[in-house]
Structure 1
């Protein structure tokens, strides 16, 4: 009996440690399941499960060892090895580290290639840009802008960049990368250990389930275009501790990676096809990137609000603006939009201070599988 308890304890440890990682990492079948509640339950009670199985192993070890030294030690070593691998090798925050040496430089001192794509943010008159080549490895970068904390995030598997205020219940919060759900990066807050989805900023498990982080307006552009529009912007620089990791993502933004998780499907409306996703008054819509590249300017109306999607000549930088009316049309000349009567910058700011600026709408370049997963009622 004691021998059976020993081996049941070993088996329990093996299955538990594998399950504890399986549901929150990109393993076969794991990300197609709606398993977040089970994953959070296993993680929250992990020490109870481990204690029970370890006690079973200790109880039966002597008998199992006397019956077969080789088999008892072999399976014990396997269990220890699996436990180490799942907690220290395969754990998300062991694979992807945060920078502790964030360096921001102005354009005159920046070493970042201006053809690189960045996530840019302007807040209270200050501008900052973060290359997705760097963000893609870290998944999150903590910074401040205009003395306000910000959390700049990116998930390479969803191709989703978001900027949030890391404020929870009125207090500044810190997060760690804990894994993924439906292929989207997931963060754990330090205070309550709740899990937060990167693509939406929503807590999806834990005591804060249902709460959302405030999202700030951001834009995806080439660094050159961003600096044309925001010449005083600061730019995130290489952290030398992670140069190798950054280099491994050098071909990500162009869509030339071959791995199943981060490749690009050049056909339209496939799982790994690029789209531009927007939400207006709770109605979401996706626009095919290939069509966007051909048209450059797309006019539409969502919930009776006329909008325009505009792609710069670099085929990287884009903006979505709310038009004054459905008749308003534009031509793009360099960084200026002209509707025949007034001129605006690429960001919708008027050159004539007497007229109103065009409202900018949050817009994201994303993989189609990601957008439709987190916006199930999206139009296209």
Structure 2
């Protein structure tokens, strides 16, 4: 096909206009205002004529640049029809010399282990491509490429629309004695805020991955990244500004990205701060609180006054124990890859993650298997000493220890130091029989691969 005719075909088949109402900025672009290569790639999804598709691919291949790799991969990932996908794969293999077939994870791993190479208009490509899935996705990317703290090519669609995994907002809570659907060995995520004690069963939260509520008069969001095994509780008010959070539908290194409803900025789940969008660089980082992963039997024994999620969530799901993500949790395989994995532990080995706000560059991971055999474990980060207590159900809690050494964690849940002083263990602090207080240090459990991918320099105790 003549090149001028091909260009005209592309121009007529594809135009992209984003109105101010759809974005946080006044930004309108048409197909002749952006890099024509962007139009070429996107037209592959809108043109059904195989001869035209081949002509476009031939032109792309003839003018190949490394910046094309991520776009070709993403088009290949979403393309319908074996014929087009095979043609795309052929170009990819010839230009890269790699033979990963249709294994998207292998292709992403190959790209992510090189310096990022993207076109100046890649954000437009990414916005339009993903707007085919959900128009709300446009705003995540338009004109935000320069306001990103993470690699744009590592932001990967997780398979759902915005809030496609619906958060539980102000969910119904019931008393412990009303929760007849729970057995004592069922896993729950326990929190306590200003004396307001609550349990969120894994069997329910795995279907929703987030709850927002006011607990102990504090607005919070509990975020469960099922893929990387983390449940983190954030205070959603920062310097007087309330942020209403949701599930973006996108991942970064297999860790879900949140979004805020007002600006549609993308937020890191592990750090509680915006990483793409207008809130980047504003000094925003949500304060997080401790979450303990434990059994329902142990939690309600410690906290008979606890509230717990009702099955009346407003959604129809099979909330049976172990049903959600059953196949994923049953193996060590990843659903979405990361740039590389560290073989010091199995991918989904459970670790206790500790990240101190005052020392963000010194994260610590402690193997839960190690803690099982060391139920009282002392350590420190940059001189801040702490003790990790592990219950019989493998629930991990972290407290300041200062210069106190503990030697016994009794069946009744009391702690005894080397001087024989008895300490009461609560969700907020350790309190000695003399009235001394040692505060709780926020921590949470995670899968090793997800934590290590986010913090490659993490220290590991195993």
Give the TM-score normalised by structure 1: 0.74
**Partner of residue 60, structure 1:** none
What is the deviation of 1:139? 1.6
Q: Secondary structure at the match of 1:180?
A: strand
What is the deviation of 1:206? 0.4
What is the deviation of 1:159? 0.7
**Partner of residue 102, structure 1:** 171
Confirm or deny: 8 A CA contact 2:272 2:287 kept in the other structure: yes
Deviates more, 1:174-183 or 1:250-259: 250-259
**Partner of residue 367, structure 1:** 447
**Partner of residue 348, structure 2:** 272
Q: Aligned pair in 2 of structure 1 residues 253, 284: CA closer, same or farther (>3 Å)?
A: farther
What is the deviation of 1:46? 3.2
**Partner of residue 421, structure 2:** 341
Confirm or deny: 8 A CA contact 1:176 1:189 kept in the other structure: yes
Q: Aligned pair in 2 of structure 1 residues 35, 115: CA closer, same or farther (>3 Å)?
A: farther
Confirm or deny: 8 A CA contact 2:263 2:278 kept in the other structure: yes
Correspondence for 2:331 among 255, 258, 280: 258
Confirm or deny: 8 A CA contact 1:308 1:321 kept in the other structure: yes
**Partner of residue 122, structure 1:** 192
Q: Secondary structure at the match of 1:207?
A: coil
Q: Aligned pair in 2 of structure 1 residues 181, 239: CA closer, same or farther (>3 Å)?
A: farther
**Partner of residue 153, structure 2:** none
Q: Aligned pair in 2 of structure 1 residues 159, 326: CA closer, same or farther (>3 Å)?
A: same
> Where do residues 190-269 of structure 1 align in structure 2 (5 Å cutoff)?
190-210=261-281, 211-239=284-312, 242=315, 244-247=317-320, 249-250=322-323, 256-258=329-331, 260-261=333-334, 269=345
What is the deviation of 1:172? 2.1
Q: State the distance in 2 between where 1:333 and 1:101 align.
A: 36
Matched, 1:164 2:234: yes
What is the deviation of 1:330? 2.8
Confirm or deny: 8 A CA contact 1:133 1:252 kept in the other structure: no
**Partner of residue 356, structure 1:** 436
Confirm or deny: 8 A CA contact 1:166 1:173 kept in the other structure: yes
Q: Aligned pair in 2 of structure 1 residues 273, 146: CA closer, same or farther (>3 Å)?
A: closer
Confirm or deny: 8 A CA contact 1:36 1:205 kept in the other structure: no
Q: Secondary structure at the match of 1:127?
A: strand
What is the deviation of 1:171? 2.7
What is the deviation of 1:252? 5.9
Matched, 1:137 2:213: no
Give the TM-score normalised by structure 2: 0.62
Deviates more, 1:187-196 or 1:298-307: 298-307
What is the deviation of 1:180? 0.8
Q: State the distance in 2 between where 1:36 and 1:135 align.
A: 38
Confirm or deny: 8 A CA contact 2:353 2:365 kept in the other structure: yes
Q: Aligned pair in 2 of structure 1 residues 330, 262: CA closer, same or farther (>3 Å)?
A: farther
Confirm or deny: 8 A CA contact 1:143 1:149 kept in the other structure: yes
CA offsets 1:303-361 (integer angstroms, 9 cap, x no match) = 2333222211123x121122242544333323222222223226443363x42222211
Q: State the distance in 1 between where 2:398 and 2:385 align.
A: 11
Q: Aligned pair in 2 of structure 1 residues 346, 180: CA closer, same or farther (>3 Å)?
A: same
**Partner of residue 41, structure 1:** 123
Unmatched tracts of structure 1, length 5 or more: 51-85
What is the deviation of 1:235? 0.7
Q: State the distance in 1 between where 2:230 and 2:267 align.
A: 14
Matched, 1:12 2:4: no
**Partner of residue 57, structure 2:** none
Unmatched tracts of structure 2, length 5 or more: 15-40, 46-70, 79-102, 133-155
What is the deviation of 1:114? 3.3
Q: Aligned pair in 2 of structure 1 residues 344, 48: CA closer, same or farther (>3 Å)?
A: closer
**Partner of residue 56, structure 1:** none
